[in-house]
Amino acid sequence: MTQYTLASQIAFVHLMSRKKQTFIAALGVTFGISVFIAMIGMMNGINDLLEDLTLSATPHIHMYRDIQRREPSVMQRLLGNTPLIEVHHERPKNEQKKLRNALTMLDYIRKDPDVYGASPLLTAQVFYQYGQHEIGGTIAGVDILEEHKLFGIGDKLIGGNLYDVLTTDNGIIIGSGLAETMQVNVGDKINVTTVTGTRVLLRIVGIVQMGIGAIDNSRSYSTLHTAQRLLQKDKSFITDINIKLRDLYKAKDKSQLYSNLFGYKAEDWETANASILVSFTLRNTITYSVSVALLIVAGFGIYNILNMTIYEKMRDIAILKATGFSGGDVKAIFMIQALSLGLGGATAGLLFGLLMSYGISKIPFEAKGVINLTSLPMSFSPLYYAIGLVFGLLTTAAAGYLPSRKAGKIDPVEIIRGK
């Protein structure tokens, strides 16, 4: 260890003897790391926001009857699977979308220790009557308490009261976009027509804003009972079950399990949101490639400066070796210089990155409609600061390695006799 303290002493004196070069070399790393931190913070801020929005609004597992499920035709069932028979535009049987034994299934699912909660859902396609206009949309009949537990719907109300939906006959919680379009408020009544032609008068008891335009402009919530009555169905009529797990990464396995167990389609959130997940990966890829490119440039700076230093310090290296410093000692002297530049530069980079991130997070950014935002989203996750530090050290170590090895291999006789 003592040999490294001596090597670091020499390395430090070398660095301090040419402060300007040292500063510029470290500045390269600082720049690379701070841009990395700011970019990754922004990208992850966006990712987190989207993930938050989508995951809070979507279940981990969505179970429903898949009417697209293809069944063999009558002819095929009779004659077996032969290419002689081809049936075009096959239509499904007149099957109800209902999940059979939904309540038993719910009980079963809720008993699973991995499951955080399961909420039954009945979606009714409706037209909201707004004067002579009809606005297409849906009413989700839900167990409102379970829905609150799973998706925090109560926290997203911008008007009214969640529990009123339980106590009010034909009460609904309407999407904020819808409410704005129809110029209605809590306490107002609206007419709703179902696809089968039933017309019902509903009372608005709350206004909900999920933050996603597509949902807020079309969806309302009511009790299961109200929705069943709207569709003129019995009390066991449930079309979907939404499940949230304690660990969302178990969704894939669990959905498989439930699908096999109950014979209904169970879709996990990763499949349902594949396009969003791809965009996460894309953003991360861009960030990492830009940062790596910046760091490579910084690395070349360090490589050049070390190479120059070694050229200038040939004689010193020769005399160190003559007086008993080994090749390894000399290598250590220059590696320590490279790593100090990396450590110093990266630390400054993290600080600058933090400042930049803070600045960016304060930039006003109004985005209404698709996503509700007031300023740019920003992630301050310490993980990326750790990655930045490791990045900086790795690049400088890589940049310093070749020159240091060269210094370690200098033949003192050649230098001393060459004079």
Partner 1 sequence: MKEENDIVLRCSSIVKYFTTPVKFKALNNISFTIQRGEFLSLIGKSGSGKSTLLYVLSTMDTDYEGTLEINNTLLTGKTLNQLSDFRNEHIGFVFQFHFLLPEFSCLKNVMLPALKLGKKSEKEVEHDAYEKLRLLGVADQALKTANTLSGGQQQRVAIARALINNPTIIMGDEPTGNLDKTNSDIVFGIFRELTADYGQTIIAVTHDQDFAQRTDRIIELSDGELLTSNR
Binding residues for partner 1, rule: CB under 8 A, are 2-3, 6, 10, 13-14, 16-17, 315-316, 318-329, 411-413, 416-417, 419
Query: Which residue lies nearer to partner 1 by CB, 41 or 408?
Result: 408
Query: Which residue lies nearer to partner 1 by CB, 13 or 386?
Result: 13
What is d(CA 33, CA 288) in angstroms, rounded to the nearest whole number?
Answer: 11
Query: Which residue lies nearer to partner 1 by CB, 334 or 384?
Result: 334
CA distances 276 to 32, 45, 270, 280, Å, are: 28, 14, 9, 6
We find the least distance from the C-beta atom of residue 25 to partner 1, in angstroms, to be 17
Query: Which residue lies nearer to partner 1 by CB, 12 or 352?
Result: 12
For residue 22, the one-letter residue type is T
We find the least distance from the C-beta atom of residue 22 to partner 1, in angstroms, to be 13
Query: Which residue lies nearer to partner 1 by CB, 248 or 314?
Result: 314
What is d(CA 63, CA 246) in angstroms, rounded to the nearest whole number?
Answer: 17
What is d(CA 372, CA 209) in angstroms, rounded to the nearest whole number?
Answer: 9
Give 208's contacts (C-beta < 8 A, 6+ positions apart): 153, 156, 157, 158, 173, 174, 175, 176, 216, 221
What is d(CA 60, CA 218) in angstroms, rounded to the nearest whole number?
Answer: 22
We find the least distance from the C-beta atom of residue 404 to partner 1, in angstroms, to be 16
We find the least distance from the C-beta atom of residue 340 to partner 1, in angstroms, to be 15
We find the least distance from the C-beta atom of residue 327 to partner 1, in angstroms, to be 6
Q: What HEC string does 131-182 produce? A: CCEEEEEEEEEECHHHHHHHHCHHHHEEEECCCHHHHCCCEEEEEHHHHHHH
Query: Which residue lies nearer to partner 1 by CB, 29 or 318?
Result: 318
We find the least distance from the C-beta atom of residue 389 to partner 1, in angstroms, to be 29
